[in-house]
Amino acid sequence: MAVATTVSGILAAVNGALGLITKGVATHDESVIEKATQTLVDEIRELNVATLQTSEDNVRLIKSVATLEHDLKAANEEIAKLKAKKRELSRYELTPITEGPVVYRLKSAYADKEPIHYRCPKCVNADKTGYLQPVRVKSAQYLVCADCEFEYFAGFLPPPDYSKLIALMAR
């Protein structure tokens, strides 16, 4: 805005100087023509400076717009990613295993296309799959994360039932 004001001010001064030159020519007044010509030269120099400043401002504005467009694109991509993650997570529910840790479990409504499975909350939050695989250590059952290898204790298995074997051996 300031530059536009400057430019219009300069143009007004240029018109004034041209008017004086015309007047000087009409009255054959050399000193008026000389003074107005000098004013004209000074104003045109000012106009060049103002035009250059306007060009530099435009270049700066174009760069700012490009940066903003880049930031906006990145923000939109981030939003799309978050929406996809939210949609994916809506298929799961947080559920405790035993009395301790809480893990993600596929909701039964989605179990028609894939088996019910568990996922590690820490890894899911870090955008990893974090599938939990059952591992048995003696009578203890764990769900072990395939990504971070954290072992979620999932309780003790019941002692083996030997009654059928005993009945079989008694025959």
Query: Binding residue for Zn ion (CB under 5 A) from 92, 104, 119, 130?
Result: 130
Binding-residue total with Zn ion (CB under 5 A): 6
CA 106 vs CA 30, 83, 117, 119: distances in Å? 96, 18, 6, 8
Among positive and negative, which fits the CA dihedral 27, 28, 33, 34?
A: negative
Residue ranges of E strands in 42-110: 92-96, 102-106
Site string for Zn ion, 80-119 (x = CB under 5 A): ----------------------------------------
Q: Please identify which residue in 21, 50, 103, 123 interacts with Zn ion, judged by CB under 5 A.
A: 123
What is the rounded distance in angstroms from the CA atom of residue 117 to the CA atom of residue 106? 6
Asked if 154 interacts with Zn ion (CB under 5 A), we say no
Cβ nearer to Zn ion, comparing 35 with 122: 122
Yes or no: say if 39 and 21 are a contact pair by the CB < 8 Å rule. no
Q: Is 135 in the site for Zn ion (CB under 5 A)?
A: no
User: Is residue 121 near Zn ion by the rule CB under 5 A?
Assistant: no
Which CB atom, from 74 or from 148, has the smaller least distance to Zn ion?
Answer: 148
The span from the CA of 153 to the CA of 135, in Å, is 10
Determine if 21 is a binding residue for Zn ion (CB under 5 A).
Answer: no
Q: Which positions lie near Zn ion, rule CB under 5 A?
A: 120, 123, 130, 145, 147-148
